[in-house]
Chains A and B, each alone.
Chain A
Amino acid sequence: MAELLTDTKLRRLKHAGGQHASADPSVIALLADVVNAYPRAKIHWLDESREAILNDWCAKRLLRAGRLAAMIDKASSVAALRRLAQADLQQYANDQRRSELPTRLFRRLDQLLHNRPERFTIMLASRERGSTCWMLTERPATAVFSERDGELVSQVLAVALTTLDETPDARKQSQFLSKAELERYAFEMLERSARGLTLDQLVRGLVLAYGLQATFEELPAEDELGTGAAVAERHGIPTLDPPEAPIEAHSAAAAQTMLARLTTRQRGVLKMLLDGIDNQREIASTLHCSPATISNELQTIRAAIEAAAPREEQAELLLAAGNLLGDGYEL
């Protein structure tokens, strides 16, 4: 049985960082309780067992996208965290119901473009249906639309579509846009941009702008994408946002020098702080010394940091030190 999550513990977990807290058994127990107690009628289209729902919810939304860490940061109490988790579970379920929409929209748009030659015509033919570029019959385009997702989203949202609400009893959402609204979408995208768009772009625009991503699909590993940033972006992998803060060479060198000035125990204290452990008694117990000794060691660590870098660069210095300590810098 996991320890109960209390307001005090939540605050401590938050201080250690939402990422650390995401794997805490008491947090996981709360999530399990949320899934267990959630009314079946509100998520009736999910066939899986509650356990499978919990696993899938955690995998797709809570952990991969860091939503659990965000919820922990935003919750002022356990009750608030529970409420945020319930809302997120409902959103997860709604997303699941819409998971087939991109495929359906692709088919519907393809059919629409082919069936209305008086309005839409092919600008650039392709063997792939998705790569076929379309333009307006009455206003031929001379250029194709940008490949940038941001520009695509801007255009789609400028059309301001009226979307259909889910039918409460439906197991899958199959429409999203009425026939007339889908046609207006295709027409206005081509008319407003005055450029040609591929079927893939028309579908992708809707998927991005209205959050219809098929989150269950595993993304290719980043290292399998080679150097093609554009390819990575098309797969939904952000290429401009590094997973970790970049460390300047001078910070790495300064961290090396600073760590060399510290004793093994002082480096041990610093490593524990960087791992989110800031209870002096806990640090003292782990390092087999008294809390007073830890206080003294902290004074030395502070002095070493201040000597190694100006205040505005000290966080980066600690990041570099954390990397060195984590990579096996000898304690």
Chain B
Amino acid sequence: MDMSSDMTPDHAKVRCSPSGRPAPGARWRDATTAHYWLFSESREEAAISGEVWSLRQRRPVSDQELLLAVVIEVSGNDATVVPLSTELAQATEWDLIVPRYVLGYETIAQVKLTGSVALGQLDQRISSLPPRSQEQLTELAAAVASRTSIPPEHLPLGPWVLSEADPRLQARVQTAELLRAYLCLKDENPISEWQSLGSILMRGSRAVGIDLASLMENSRSVEQLRTDRLDLFAEVPARKMAQILATLRIGWTQRVRDALYQVVSERYSATGFDPGIVLGRRRDRRSRRRSRSQPSQQEREQAARDYVKALEREIGEL
């Protein structure tokens, strides 16, 4: 059963051409490595934005697995990095697909897991992103930093997560835990996009193939709804919201409830409308008087509670 240890698998024999040139897919990396070798002595920076490095864990561990990451910023003794993963099946709409030629194998840049490391953790420079990929990564990282709930369009990203039940979300949470050995995560909640009502509605819209704008009477409100800037209390009656959720097949989960509560309490402006209509109450019921001054925190929270309660009632009646 044993075989000789110097036996070369058939496919390994054809990796290099007779001239010794590497197989296609590795030459960008060779070019950037040659460039680094030629100029590294003359540069002051330990690492430059766009470079791919392997990183050691924060605490010394023997025979450890290194983390591959793209450096996006260097400041003092720290670097901000975006981890790379070879688990392409875990790619979501927040993971940039890195061209295969960058490393010679496929990876995704997990922007939601951006973190900072000490420069001393940098182990070895591996490659560099081409300018186009670097621009794309910067754009996506900026969207994460500004807490945008939907990634910019036209970037090479993984398949969208359309449901909270998608196992990729749990995988991202688990990866975040493992990455703590290497870096300090910028965002403590790696699935923060699920705290946004606009993001949840957009995902539902993509899942069922129904444009969110077609469900709203005022199409100008759609952009505000997408970005959690719409005063739902004033603009979207509870019955209407219940219909939207049902049409988009979005279940009434704790996360949806929390996201909705958050938007209403943040955007409630208490101007010129009848809460009875918004909340679906009968006209003869007593309505609170609205003040035109800025509502207090207490009023906002009361409005959010009322809206959520009304919505739950409407969902039950649908």
- In the complex, the answer to whether B11 meets A192 with C-beta atoms within 8 Å is no
CA–CA, A276 and B29, complex, Å: 10
- In the complex, the answer to whether A194 meets B209 with C-beta atoms within 8 Å is yes
Cβ contact of B27, chosen from A51, A74, A244, cutoff 8 A: A244
Tell me, rounded to whole Å, the shortest Cβ–Cβ distance linking B205 to chain A: 12
B9 nearest in chain A by CB position: A58
Which residues of B are found within 8 Å of A194, using beta-carbon distances? 208-210
Number of interface residues of A (CB under 8 A): 89
Cβ contact of B62, chosen from A11, A70, A77, A211, cutoff 8 A: A77
* B16: interface (CB < 8 Å): yes
- In the complex, the answer to whether A75 meets B209 with C-beta atoms within 8 Å is no
CA–CA, A245 and B26, complex, Å: 9
Which residues of B are found within 8 Å of A11, using beta-carbon distances? 124
* B105: interface (CB < 8 Å): yes
* B89: interface (CB < 8 Å): yes
Q: Which of B8, B9, B63 has most chain A Cβ within 10 Å?
A: B9
Q: Which of B93-101, B185-193, B303-311 contacts A (4 or more CB under 8 A)?
A: B93-101
- In the complex, the answer to whether B89 meets A305 with C-beta atoms within 8 Å is no
Tell me, rounded to whole Å, the shortest Cβ–Cβ distance linking B65 to chain A: 5
* A323: interface (CB < 8 Å): yes
Which residues of B are found within 8 Å of A302, using beta-carbon distances? 38-39
* A284: interface (CB < 8 Å): no
- In the complex, the answer to whether A66 meets B105 with C-beta atoms within 8 Å is yes
Which residues of B are found within 8 Å of A274, using beta-carbon distances? 27, 30-31, 34
Which residues of B are found within 8 Å of A83, using beta-carbon distances? 63, 65
- In the complex, the answer to whether B28 meets A25 with C-beta atoms within 8 Å is no
* B18: interface (CB < 8 Å): no
* B162: interface (CB < 8 Å): yes
Tell me, rounded to whole Å, the shortest Cβ–Cβ distance linking A76 to chain B: 5
Q: Which of A102-110, A119-127, A146-154, A177-185 contacts B (4 or more CB under 8 A)?
A: A146-154
Q: Which of B6, B34, B56, B128 has most chain A Cβ within 10 Å?
A: B34
Q: Which of A26-34, A93-101, A167-175, A224-232 contacts B (4 or more CB under 8 A)?
A: A26-34
Question: Known contacts being A74-B54, A77-B63, A192-B208, is A150 close to B1, with CB within 8 Å?
Answer: no
Cβ contact of A193, chosen from B8, B30, B37, B209, cutoff 8 A: B209
- Per the 8 Å Cβ criterion, residues 1-54 of B in contact with A are 1-13, 15-16, 19-35, 37-39, 54
CA–CA, A32 and B5, complex, Å: 6
- In the complex, the answer to whether A157 meets B22 with C-beta atoms within 8 Å is no
Which residues of A are found within 8 Å of B99, using beta-carbon distances? 241-242, 245
A57 nearest in chain B by CB position: B9
* B202: interface (CB < 8 Å): no
Q: Which of B165-173, B270-278, B279-287, B294-302 contacts A (4 or more CB under 8 A)?
A: B165-173
- In the complex, the answer to whether B11 meets A50 with C-beta atoms within 8 Å is no
| Contact digits for B147-181, partner A, Cβ 8 Å, 1 yes 0 no | 00000000010111111011110000000000000
- In the complex, the answer to whether A323 meets B209 with C-beta atoms within 8 Å is no
- In the complex, the answer to whether B131 meets A312 with C-beta atoms within 8 Å is yes
Which residues of A are found within 8 Å of B63, using beta-carbon distances? 76-77, 79-80, 83
- In the complex, the answer to whether B37 meets A143 with C-beta atoms within 8 Å is no
- In the complex, the answer to whether A275 meets B30 with C-beta atoms within 8 Å is yes
* B118: interface (CB < 8 Å): no
- In the complex, the answer to whether A73 meets B54 with C-beta atoms within 8 Å is yes
* A155: interface (CB < 8 Å): yes
- In the complex, the answer to whether A73 meets B101 with C-beta atoms within 8 Å is no
* B224: interface (CB < 8 Å): no
Cβ contact of A18, chosen from B62, B103, B156, B162, cutoff 8 A: B103
Cβ contact of A50, chosen from B3, B32, B158, cutoff 8 A: B3
- In the complex, the answer to whether A276 meets B30 with C-beta atoms within 8 Å is yes
* B241: interface (CB < 8 Å): no
5 intermolecular pairs with C-beta atoms under 8 Å apart: A11-B124, A22-B12, A23-B12, A55-B9, A153-B159
Apart from A15-B33, A32-B3, A64-B11: 11 A-B pairs, beta carbons within 8 A: A1-B5, A17-B29, A20-B22, A23-B16, A70-B86, A74-B54, A195-B209, A243-B24, A245-B99, A270-B34, A301-B38
Chain B residues within 8 Å of A, Cβ to Cβ:
1-13, 15-16, 19-35, 37-39, 54, 56, 62-68, 86, 89, 97, 99-101, 103-107, 123-124, 126, 128, 130-131, 156, 158-163, 165-168, 206-210, 249
Chain A residues within 8 Å of B, Cβ to Cβ:
1-2, 11, 14-20, 22-23, 25, 28-29, 31-33, 36, 49-51, 54-55, 58-59, 63-67, 69-70, 73-77, 79-80, 83-84, 143, 146, 149-151, 153-155, 157-160, 191-195, 209, 211, 238, 240-245, 270, 273-276, 278, 298, 301-302, 305, 312-316, 318-319, 321-323, 326
